[in-house]
Amino acid sequence: MTVLGQRVVFLHAHPDDETLATGVLLADLVHTGHQVAVVTATRGERGAVVPGPLSALEGTPELVEHRLGELAGALAELGVTDHVFLGTPPARDGDGAPRRYTDSGMRWLDDAETLAGPGGDAGPDSLTSVPVERPAADLAAYLRHYAADTLIAYDRHGGYGHPDHVACHHIARAAAALSGTPLVEVVSEPLLPVPGAEEVALPRWLPAVQQALGHYASQLAVEGTEVVQVGGQRQPIVTTVWLTGTGA
């Protein structure tokens, strides 16, 4: 049985990932009295923008500022008040200047679109380019600062294989080992069933997640109980998460 502690930190790769993948769990933990923090690894600089009035933001510095506003609005809907970007104190190892990890982008490496890699122009500060030890040390510093007793992050598939999500998996594992924080992983749907994984069904938080996702107008559209992605793909809003790990 996965046991989540009283002080829980989530690691996510980009703004919107926290709500798409774990929104119901965030809302549930907050409203059942847990202390909950979200660490976002990048600012989603490479995110594609849905067609429409916001599409002019794609690839511009203004997109970053817009996505920060979207993130703040979504977290408020879920009740999360503790948030930090990875590399920004107190999620920064040592006393140096803040570090900024950037969005790697994504491209498919095979015709079947089953294997993803970073974008061809991912920069040296992108999450997939920096040595894992650096962001892991930053995350471990935050786990100690927050006195976290559980870290929640992606499994090895990272949900759908996005390279930044996979990078976060490795960062989380290394940070958990450095800080001694128990790690719980969110199981990717394509990998189910996973022996020992626990199903956590939280449909009562669907309205809160719908409201939170509504703030991400640059990235998706909410239509009833589905989200419509930039490329037109439809997916049901996640109301059940599968967790694996020992927890606190």
CB 39 within 8 A of CB 84: yes
Domain around 202: 7-244
Per-residue pLDDT at 119 = 72
Decide if 124 is inside a domain: yes
Decide if 135 is inside a domain: yes
Per-residue pLDDT at 177 = 97
Decide if 18 is inside a domain: yes
Q: Which amino acid is residue 235, in one-letter code?
A: Q
Domain count, the chain: 1
Q: Which amino acid is residue 156, in one-letter code?
A: R
Using one digit for the tens of pLDDT, what is the confidence trace for 194-247?
Answer: 999 999 999 999 999 999 999 999 999 999 999 998 888 899 999 999 999 866
Decide if 1 is inside a domain: no
Backbone angles phi, psi at 185, to 5 degrees: -110, 140
> Taking the model in full, what pTM does it have?
0.95
> pLDDT tens per residue, the chain (248 residues)?
466 899 999 999 999 999 999 999 999 999 999 999 999 999 999 888 999 999 999 989 999 999 999 999 999 999 999 999 999 999 999 998 999 999 998 777 667 566 676 776 788 999 999 999 999 999 999 999 999 999 999 999 999 889 999 999 999 999 999 999 999 999 999 999 999 999 999 999 999 999 999 999 999 999 999 999 888 889 999 999 999 986 65
CATH code for the domain of 33: 3.40.50.10320
Per-residue pLDDT at 110 = 66
Contact residues for 105 (Cβ-Cβ < 8 A; gap 6+): 46, 118, 119, 121, 122, 126
Distance CA 50, CA 220 (A): 6
Nearest to 168 by CA among 218, 126, 229: 126
Q: Please give the full DSSP string across 206-241, using - where no structure is assigned.
A: HHHHHHHHTT-TTTEEEETTEEEETTS-EEEPP-EE
Decide if 228 is inside a domain: yes
Decide if 2 is inside a domain: no
For CA atoms 16, 22, 28, 34, give the dihedral sign. Answer: negative
